[in-house]
Chains A and B, each alone.
Chain A
Amino acid sequence: MNAEQANNQSTEQKKKKVDSPFKRSAKDFYKKLKKNKSALIGGYLIIALIIIAIVGPFFTVYDPVHDTDYMVKLQGPSAEHWFGTDHHGRDVFTRVIHGLGITLGIGFFATILGGIVGVLVGIISGYYGGRVDSIIMRLMDVLLAFPGILLALALISILGASLQNVVIAVSIFAIPTFARIVRGSTLATKNLEYIDAMRALGASDARIIFKHIFPNILSPIIVQASLFVATAILSASGLSFLGLGAQPPSPELGAILSNGRDFMWDAGHIALFPGLGIMIILLAFNVFGDGLRDALDPKMKK
């Protein structure tokens, strides 16, 4: 009895020592991340932006939408209104701080939504190959035939102009980019010996895909995700700027910018600050994504 228990314990200990593939790739990922300076800087910048977006709204004195004061409308930056006021006399600083969260939220949400679908589609396409693969990839080619913001525009023309529809349109735009990359990585992974070994041991397709292939193609997915957040934010704020996304009272950064455009002649600051905000967000994600790609790209290991 005792011996059996001891035996059980020792096998349990042995099990613990070998990390799950997820944990291993997470550890590996973090180790590489730490070595790359620009990935670290970008990462810290993103964390700072997220903290400002979450905590900032509790510290702003004014309300982003309802605090109108026509006595101070269209004023330049001052001690009371750091970024000046808009045509309703609302505090632009407050609006930008609130808008930061909305804009970041759109970027993350659209990337995660489109990313999940794109990753699934890409893995299925790469893993099963054959006819499934060629049909899926032709479909992705069709989606990729609409450059940049055009696909989102086409989708908005069906769905109608609203913030929610912009998120849907941008996530659909994410699907083919993720699918392509994931398919490539899956193809490279699925013929490795340990996958054959898993199959020989009788593992199901689902188990192989999610427990063994997915953790191993995580790095390119993360790189793609961080770069796509920038694209998503750029497209979404662009659509809001065109009046096809977030609608006027909303402090989404693109929407504030769109509104500021009407007052370029007497109050240029309204457009200046939300644009700076978008630029800093994009800068953070581009630096982070670039750094990650360098850190994780095996070609760069020399």
Chain B
Amino acid sequence: MFQFIVRRLLQLIPVLLGVTILVFSLMHLSPGNPAHIIAGESAPKDTVEQIEERLGLNDPILVQYGNFLKDVVTLDFGNSWRTSLPVSEELWPKFWVTFELSVYSTIFSIFLGLIAGIISAVRQYSVADVSIMLVALFGLSMPNFWLGLMLMQWFSINLGWLPATGWGSAEQIVLPVITLGTMGAAVIARMTRSSMLDVVTQDYIRTARAKGLSERLVIYKHALKNALIPVVTVVGLQFGSLLAGAVLTESVFAINGMGKLIVDRILARDFPTVQAAVLVIAVIFVLVNLLVDISYKFLNKRIDLD
């Protein structure tokens, strides 16, 4: 187990280095001189040269990358080209908003997805099962930005029950979480169902039934425990796509999170901010995947022992 974790951690190093190289090249592959973007197109020549010097744009590319890596490790992403504030100062409050949104949405999708999936599997081919799977199929196919707009249309504009924009109060959280969590709930419901159905046909479940255990005990104690293993992987992957999907949800509900920051700053060509935000999401995604891998191995090992 320990060896496995160490090996996976070592495997992360090239991936994380690759991620930093890709993010670093964002700025250098894009057309236009960064100094011009900061100073404005009509800036005098010495101003531009001064900025170039300050940003180290005249250094060899490898030196620049080295400096970038050093900055990343110390979580210092430089100053925004748009607001001139330190990027990390702008980023962290927004990061927490996005993080909260993703965590709540993950909880929502696990809760809804698991219940729906279990009901579906326990009553295979019943009306409940067919309708749940149909709803899940729609949930999977609904673009979340559209779902968000439609929810806003109904619950904010027509009924006036919930606020249409913002983040923070309990009422403001409801619609964005449903918007962002629905697709995940659909994925988890489908996964839970098929995984449960796989498990209940296995011998040990028949044995459990044969020795006279109640159906409830068989399903919730014996079947569910093993059926949840593949679901854990899906949940981990979902969390990552939620972080990225938050970009659209935040845009719909005008939530001042990291996703909105990325989009605004892409349009404003504020590369340091975009780099930092993209890097943070990618690193979290990689780490969550690692956690999922480890927990998967851990859960599987227990099965081996059984």
Interface size of A by CB at 8 A reads: 41
Complex Cα–Cα for A238 and B250 (A): 12
Q: Is B243 part of the contact surface with A, judged by Cβ < 8 Å? A: yes
Can you give 23 A-B contacts (C-beta < 8 A)? A139-B18, A145-B15, A146-B244, A146-B281, A147-B244, A149-B245, A150-B244, A158-B26, A159-B30, A160-B31, A161-B267, A241-B143, A244-B263, A260-B149, A264-B157, A271-B149, A272-B150, A272-B153, A275-B143, A278-B146, A282-B143, A283-B137, A286-B141
Give 13 new A-B contacts, CB below 8 A, not counting A148-B245, A157-B266, A238-B143: A142-B15, A145-B16, A146-B19, A147-B241, A147-B285, A150-B244, A153-B278, A158-B25, A158-B30, A159-B30, A241-B145, A243-B263, A268-B157
Q: Is the CB of B153 within 8 A of A147?
A: no
Q: Would you list which residues of chain A between 136 and 176 have a CB under 8 Å from chain B? A: 138-139, 141-142, 145-150, 153-154, 156-161
CB-CB nearest in chain B for A258: B145
Q: Which of A139, A148, A244 has the most CB of B within 10 A?
A: A148
Of all A-B residue pairs in the complex, the 7 with the closest CB atoms, nearest first, are: A275-B146, A142-B18, A148-B244, A147-B240, A282-B141, A283-B141, A150-B244
Please name all residues of chain A whose beta carbon is closer than 8 Å to the beta carbon of B245 when the two chains form the complex.
148-149
Q: Which residues of A contact B227 (CB under 8 A)?
A: none
Q: A residues touching B (Cβ–Cβ < 8 Å)?
A: 138-139, 141-142, 145-150, 153-154, 156-161, 230, 234, 237-238, 241-244, 257, 260-261, 264-265, 268, 271-272, 275, 278-279, 282-283, 286-287
Residue B135 interfacial (CB < 8 Å): no
Q: Main SS of chain B's interface residues?
A: helix
Closest to B149 in A: A271
A149 touches B244 (CB 8 A): yes
| Chain B contact patch, size range | 35 or more
> In the complex the two chains form, is B22's CB within 8 Å of A279's CB?
no
Q: How far is the CB of A240 from chain B (nearest CB, A)?
A: 10
Partner of A241, one of B141, B240, B248: B248
CB of B226 closer than 8 Å to a CB of A: no
Bound form: Cα–Cα A159–B16 in Å: 23
Knowing A146-B282, A154-B278, A244-B266, the reply to whether A138 touches B15 (Cβ < 8 A) is yes
